[in-house]
Amino acid sequence: MTVSAWPWGMRSVSTDDAVAPFDVEPARLDDLAPTTSLWAEAGLTRPWNDPAADFRQAIRTPTSEIFIIRRNTEIVASVMVGYEGHRGWVYYLATADAYRGQGLGQRLMQKCETWLLAQNCPKLMLMVRTSNSTVIDYYKALGYSQSDVVTMEKWLRPKVTN
């Protein structure tokens, strides 16, 4: 196994040996609370999004999935992936603080890519806040590139700002 340090403190693991005890599995409905708690702890939730509704929607439709990694009974990493028929999308990639740098996020992204390929999806997309340069660099290290697109929005319901 080769582990290389990245300048921002994350590590890249060159084989699956380091994370072999961490199996990736689909989430179940009873994983809702610990998974959405992990998303909140990782700073991925916003007042105008309902992560519990996102979770429920993802696990009950065939065009999306949530993958988790457990350590014993604790969920230590998760990701949501979906395919809308044109592009694949990844949301809520999170790893518990104590497990960062062990390749779990990388393993989940590989699982998402494999799942999307099985759906015959040609391209994977994800959104990262422009202020989150560490995560942008993380995805670049995984082979992702910045798109030449502008994301636009229009609120159809009043934005919740709690």
As a whole number of angstroms, the distance between CA 92 and CA 55 comes to: 10
Quote the pLDDT of residue 162. 66
> Residue 132 has which token pair?
């989150």
pLDDT of residue 11: 39
Structure tokens at 113: 């890519």
Local confidence pLDDT in tens for the 162 residues of the chain: 333 333 333 434 344 444 456 899 999 999 999 999 999 999 999 988 899 999 999 999 999 999 999 998 999 999 999 999 999 999 999 999 999 999 999 999 999 999 999 999 999 999 988 888 999 999 999 999 999 888 888 888 887 776
Instruction: Determine the 3-state secondary structure of 127 from DSSP.
Output: coil
The model carries a pTM of: 0.81
46's tokens: 């916003």
Superfamily of domain 3-141: Gcn5-related N-acetyltransferase (GNAT) (3.40.630.30)
Q: Where are the domains of the chain?
A: 3-141
Alpha-carbon distance values, 38 to 29, 116, 121, 147 (Å): 15, 24, 28, 28
